[in-house]
């Protein structure tokens, strides 16, 4: 029994995974984190209406979700001023990025992203054999012009840009992003990940133009809407591109409860706005905590603050480890020079008080 | 703007989807179904403990699910007497079948299934360019020997067998299935879909042997456990095969609520057993209703009864349409000669009373 014959591509893939979950660290630590500030979740939680919708939907949990996700797509279309044919909903942006890579990337095809940008995008591209071209950040911002230039040189099929950016929290204004869209080379597609755009200043997202075949926009209920635990993301694009997802997606992959919860979340914009205020206040406080310990918080258009620890990646990694030992879960950028930073998600006051108390000792331990 | 360059495989795929959901039919009909007996869901619902778990987990909906699905995998391992390394949990069996096809199937690779068996498996195989070989049923049973013979002839990488079978409700005993496993050709894998095995007579599932590299076993919380709306399926196999899923799966694809609900469902075996009794009683009643209208119910080891309407596929399709017009959602096999049948899921008494009342008129309309 030699076992199954995998594809050549599968045999070539590493066993590595893009992110280790906090639960894995908790099991290794033998204790739960006291403050969960590493996954850019919304500690402020979803709308109370969502909790009611979830409880009510329990009685319908025996039914498969609508594979067309009709009600949610219609509501999203109304919300964004587009049509339901321009929207595909899936198992988080992660799931949709996987489908997109599958749709475009054959072994050896060029794909362009920023060195240190979202690892899960890279994971999906590698998973379909794509040749990943990585462009450096410019001053802690992704570099649209450099991404475009590299895409032209490499004849890339796909470019990834997160705006606002994760893990740096930086952003470009709508005009810069629109200029990038206009510059996308013929036959290339820009995957514009706007997971954090709800928290960005007005004027960060370019207008939605569903006639434009050069860009697909990703949004999520996992961040500002506080529903990471249900995994609902969506993408908006030209109807032809959206229809192509239907050739390959897991049609019954999005459960009934997830659909009901996302719809309830969308329908409570007051809760969203209240959350955005809490996020803004939390960003301010994280910034103060950082400055009080001699660190430099970077400007953020997201629900996290990336903090420059002023030294190298080894030091920042030691800070993350020292915080983890003290029950504080944070993450950090993977790539130099951004890995001089730690990344702290917004949290409720109790979480930030724990972070504030632990940070000085963690810095001392990391330095010593 | 010509738009993105898809892979050659994508360009070759049809826009068709394996199943149209009942919600799509309801929108076309302009009315909701009064009895939902077409998707083999468990109308009896999940355990009350699951409903409590769902309501409680709402407060944790802001957190991503554990990407290792550790607690649920450990509980499943204990339940089945295997190890957590032998279990992968995913977005329904559908999602896991998609991953499996991706792991094994390159364009042109041979895959064997039964003509008229699960269309979603075929969808995933086609989605990776596999060459599907379809073997006829034998007397409304899948035909293990013929599947093996065809796999040998075609040098297939993958064979699909559902035991019990959907859409016919028939089954093979453990000894026959084990004999099939023993006969799987070198370098081939048997995907054994046991979604319905919870409802089958004792002795239907072969013993679990996680050292055997020739077979992977699929189970689900969508059927007997009544959790289709949360989409949790799992597979059990040799640890090497299970580890390979980690190279490509959507690691954060399974939400926190889904994991919590499935764990609560697994922990209430009393509810499962009570549901199995209700399913058995419902099967009996569907059989009586069929016989009273002159039709022939087939023996079933599942939570549905496939009813031989005694004529051809056109007639059965007309019966399904006539039932739909009367608010009764049922489905039917796609392929002759099995398409002489309709497939009716078990339901609560009120559902079956509606079915009983509508069937004679539906038959008259279909005949006329």
Residues of chain A contacting B10 with CB distance shorter than 8 Å: 102-104, 244, 247-248
Per the CB < 8 A criterion, the answer to whether B234 and B263 are in contact is no
Helical ranges in B214-345 per DSSP H:
239-245, 256-266, 269-292, 313-325
User: What are the residue boundaries of the structural domains of chain A, listed by start?
Assistant: 8-45+270-367, 58-268
> Which token pair is B232?
């949790």
Å from A113 to nearest chain B CA?
Answer: 17
Residues of chain A contacting B21 with CB distance shorter than 8 Å: 64, 66-68, 251-252
Helical ranges in A233-326 per DSSP H:
239-245, 256-266, 269-292, 313-325
Neighbours of B92 (CB within 10 A): 27
Interface test with A, best of B1, B18, B107, B255 (most A CBs within 10 A): B255
Q: Same fold for the domain at A8-45+270-367 and the one at A58-268?
A: no
Residues of chain A contacting B58 with CB distance shorter than 8 Å: 46, 50-51, 54-55
- pLDDT tens profile A101-135: 999 999 999 999 999 999 999 999 999 999 999 99
CA-based diameter of chain A, in Å? Answer: 63
Chain A / chain B CB contacts < 8 angstroms:
296
Å from A350 to nearest chain B CA?
Answer: 17
Residues of chain B contacting A255 with CB distance shorter than 8 Å: 228-231, 255, 258
Which value does ipTM take for this structure?
Answer: 0.97
Does the pLDDT at position B330 exceed 80?
yes
CATH classification (class only), B48-267: alpha beta
Q: Phi then psi for A286, rounded to 5 degrees?
A: -60, -40
Q: Which CATH number fits domain A8-45+270-367: 3.90.1150.10, 3.40.50.970, 3.40.630.30, 3.20.20.60?
A: 3.90.1150.10
> Which token pair is B157?
């990488």
Q: Phi then psi for A134, rounded to 5 degrees?
A: -115, 125
Architecture of domain A58-268: 3-Layer(aba) Sandwich (3.40)
pLDDT grade for B1, boundaries at 50, 70 and 90: low
Question: Whose CA is closest to A96, among A192, A5, A3?
Answer: A192
Question: Whose CA is closest to B282, among B40, B49, B3?
Answer: B40
- pLDDT tens profile B203-236: 999 999 999 999 999 999 999 999 999 999 999 9
Neighbours of A2 (CB within 10 A): 8
What does the pLDDT read at residue B3?
86
CA-based diameter of chain B, in Å? Answer: 63
B17-45+270-367 — its CATH code?
3.90.1150.10
Does the pLDDT at position B356 exceed 70?
yes
Asked if the bond preceding A164 is cis, omega within 30° of 0, the reply is yes
What does the pLDDT read at residue A122?
97
Helix (H, G, I), strand (E, B) or coil at B160: strand
- pLDDT tens profile B12-61: 999 878 888 999 999 999 999 999 999 999 999 999 999 999 999 888 99
B106–A8 C-beta distance less than 8 A: yes
* Average pLDDT score over chain B: 97
pLDDT grade for A17, boundaries at 50, 70 and 90: confident
Mean pLDDT score, B242-258: 95
What does the pLDDT read at residue A15?
87
pLDDT grade for A156, boundaries at 50, 70 and 90: very high
Does the pLDDT at position B185 exceed 80?
yes
Question: Whose CA is closest to B62, among A228, A260, A269?
Answer: A228
- pLDDT tens profile A297-356: 999 999 999 999 999 999 999 999 999 999 999 999 999 999 999 999 999 999 999 999
CA distance A184 to A50: 39
- pLDDT tens profile A205-254: 999 999 999 999 999 999 999 999 999 999 999 999 999 999 999 999 99
Question: Whose CA is closest to A20, among A337, A359, A329?
Answer: A329
Share of chain B above pLDDT 90, in %: 96
What does the pLDDT read at residue A3?
86
């Amino acid at each position: 029994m030699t076992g199954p014959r995998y594809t050549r591509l599968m045999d070539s893939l590493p066993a590595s995974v893009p992110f280790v979950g906090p639960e894995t660290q908790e099991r290794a630590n033998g204790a739960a984190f006291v403050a969960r500030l590493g996954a850019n979740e919304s500690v402020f939680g979803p709308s109370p209406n969502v909790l009611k919708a979830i409880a009510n939907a329990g009685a319908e949990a025996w039914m498969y979700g609508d594979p067309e996700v009709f009600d949610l797509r219609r509501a999203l279309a109304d919300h964004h001023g587009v049509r339901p044919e321009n929207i595909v909903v899936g198992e988080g942006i992660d799931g949709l990025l996987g489908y997109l890579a599958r749709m475009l990337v054959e072994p050896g095809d060029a794909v362009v992203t920023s060195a240190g940008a979202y690892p899960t995008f890279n994971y999906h591209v590698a998973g379909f054999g794509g040749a990943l071209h990585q462009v450096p950040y410019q001053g802690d911002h992704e570099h649209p012009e450099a991404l475009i230039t590299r895409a032209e040189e490499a004849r890339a099929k796909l470019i990834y840009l997160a705006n606002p950016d994760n893990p740096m929290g930086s952003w470009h204004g709508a005009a810069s992003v629109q200029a990038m869209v206009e510059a996308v080379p013929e036959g290339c597609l820009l995957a514009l990940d706007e997971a954090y755009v709800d928290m960005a200043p007005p004027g960060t997202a370019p207008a939605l133009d569903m006639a434009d075949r050069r860009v697909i926009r990703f949004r999520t209920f996992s961040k500002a809407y506080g529903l990471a635990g249900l995994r609902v993301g969506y993408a908006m694009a030209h109807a032809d591109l959206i229809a192509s997802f239907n050739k390959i997606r897991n049609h019954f992959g999005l459960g009934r409860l997830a659909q009901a919860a996302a719809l309830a979340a969308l329908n409570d914009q007051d809760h969203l706005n209240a959350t955005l205020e809490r996020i803004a206040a939390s960003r301010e406080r994280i910034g103060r905590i950082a400055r009080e310990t001699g660190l430099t918080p970077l400007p953020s258009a997201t629900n996290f603050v990336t903090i420059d620890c002023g030294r190298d990646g080894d030091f920042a990694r030691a800070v993350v480890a020292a915080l983890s030992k003290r029950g504080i879960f944070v993450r950090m950028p993977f790539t130099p020079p951004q890995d001089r930073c730690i990344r702290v998600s917004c949290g409720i006051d109790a979480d930030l008080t724990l972070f504030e108390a632990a940070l000085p000792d963690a810095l001392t331990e990391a330095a010593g």
